[in-house]
Structure 1
Amino acid sequence: MQHSKHTGGRPPLSKARKQEYRITLRLDTEHKLRLQALARTAGRPRTEVLRQLIAVGRVRERLRREHLDFMSQLKGMARNLNQ
């Protein structure tokens, strides 16, 4: 009688699908309540909502010094047009 090494069950996850990294996040009360409301309306846990926001969400970068200079020039041209 031979005994098999594998006794059944779920196959092991690949390295890419394994969720092994942990990130600590600090939120103020307003952001925590917003996250809870998003999770409640989506019917998913907060961690899954954050994963989806990371995967699909969009974060805009801050304005750089060049952008601010360009915006001030644009404001000056708009003022001249209004006069």
Structure 2
Amino acid sequence: MISTVRELAAEALFVSCLQPSECPSRETVEDAITTMILRHGSDGCAAGVASEFGDHPDVAVRRMEWVRSELTEMLVPRVSVLH
């Protein structure tokens, strides 16, 4: 189940308009994922990924590497600082 959710999040982030050069915050990434899932659904996100890999495989690979990196960082628990 968790891998399915992670895959859906990856596909949703992949089809979003966010760019690595923007260095988006965690909240921005979460919002983009939610927006894309609500807009396109799981099938639509998967179709967008498939289309990009078919049309621009070299660019799609680099984008998916960025997506995976962003999601890995999101899985690291937030550290709260107590004063």
Same fold (TM over 0.5): no
TM-score by length of 2: 0.27
Q: TM-score, normalised by structure 1?
A: 0.27
* Greater fraction of residues in helix: 2
Q: Which has the higher contact order (CA 8 A, sep 6+)?
A: 2
Between structure 1 and structure 2, the one with the greater Rg is 1
